[in-house]
Amino acid sequence: DSGVTQTPKHLITATGQRVTLRCSPRSGDLSVYWYQQSLDQGLQFLIQYYNGEERAKGNILERFSAQQFPDLHSELNLSSLELGDSALYFCASSVGRGSSYEQYFGPGTRLTVT
């Protein structure tokens, strides 16, 4: 158990809908990262927050947005969903400083868009 929690574990929804994925980082970790894992794109970095502020952006679509709240949990909002958004979405957390920056991953949310 990495200490990172994600809800829900599975999500099935229809095209055009909007969903919210939730992540709670490990105790003491200030950084939260979101990744998308799909068969065709592999594992891709989406966005990072550090102590409530956006710090880095990767291949995140404009239809997607995220935020980190004062209690450090984070939410990833996916809107106007398309079939191609079906993927495993991971949240990871790290201390956000130090020499290694190792990231600990949550169990993921498997999103299926039908």
Partner 1 sequence: AQKITQTQPGMFVQEKEAVTLDCTYDTSDQSYGLFWYKQPSSGEMIFLIYQGSYDEQNATEGRYSLNFQKARKSANLVISASQLGDSAMYFCAMRGPISSGSARQLTFGSGTQLTVLP
- Tracing tokens 């201390």 back to the chain, one arrives at 95
Distance of closest approach, residue 16 Cβ to partner 1, in angstroms: 26
CA–CA gap between residue 111 and residue 46 (Å, rounded): 15
The residue type found at 7 is T
Backbone torsions φ then ψ of 83, nearest 5 degrees: -55, -35
Question: What radius of gyration do the chain's Cα atoms show?
Answer: 13
Tell me which of 19, 36, 68, 108 binds partner 1, using CB under 8 A. Answer: 108
Q: Which of residues 23-82 bind partner 1 (CB under 8 A)?
A: 31, 33, 35, 42-45, 48, 50, 55-56, 58
Query: Interface with partner 1 by CB under 8 A: which residues?
Result: 2, 31, 33, 35, 42-45, 48, 50, 55-56, 58, 88, 90, 92, 99-108, 110
